Every structure is written in C-alpha cells, then in structure tokens.
Amino acid sequence: MDIHRTFADVVVWEDGRLRHHGRVDMTRSGLEGFGRSLRRTDEIVVEATGNAMAVVSLAS
C-alpha cells in the first residue's frame, strides 16, 4: 500500500506477478472494506508515512 492523505494505491503480488488492485479510500469504511477483501493468509506491506498508523490500528 502506497499511502496518501485521502487514498492508498494497492498493488498485489500473486503467482509471481504484480497487478494494480486499485485505490482504497483512507476512511474507516474504505479501509474496513479493503480488509474484508483479504484472506487470512494475505500479507500487507504498508508504506511508513503519517497515515500508516490509521491502517495499522484498524488491522490490529
């Protein structure tokens, strides 16, 4: 996740390929919706910026 003030760009690495997943709104509902799309085995890499803690706190 490349985090910006109002959105995050999401890129997925799967089966040895990168694909653009899209943008996620940096709102509670946007992040929760993205979280519901993940599988338990998925791993997320979050860019370390000011808004990173918002993502981490919702994921915990």
Rounded CA separation 3/46 (Å): 7
Strands, DSSP E only, in the chain? 2-3, 7-14, 17-25
pLDDT at 15: 92
pLDDT at 4: 85
Q: Mapping DSSP to helix (H, G, I), strand (E, B) and coil, where does residue 43 land?
A: coil
Task: Tell me the pTM.
Answer: 0.72
- Ranges of residues in the chain with a pLDDT under 70 are 50-51, 58-60
pLDDT at 11: 93
Rounded CA separation 39/28 (Å): 19
List beta partners, residue 8.
3, 24
Q: What are phi and psi of 8, to 5 degrees?
A: -130, 135
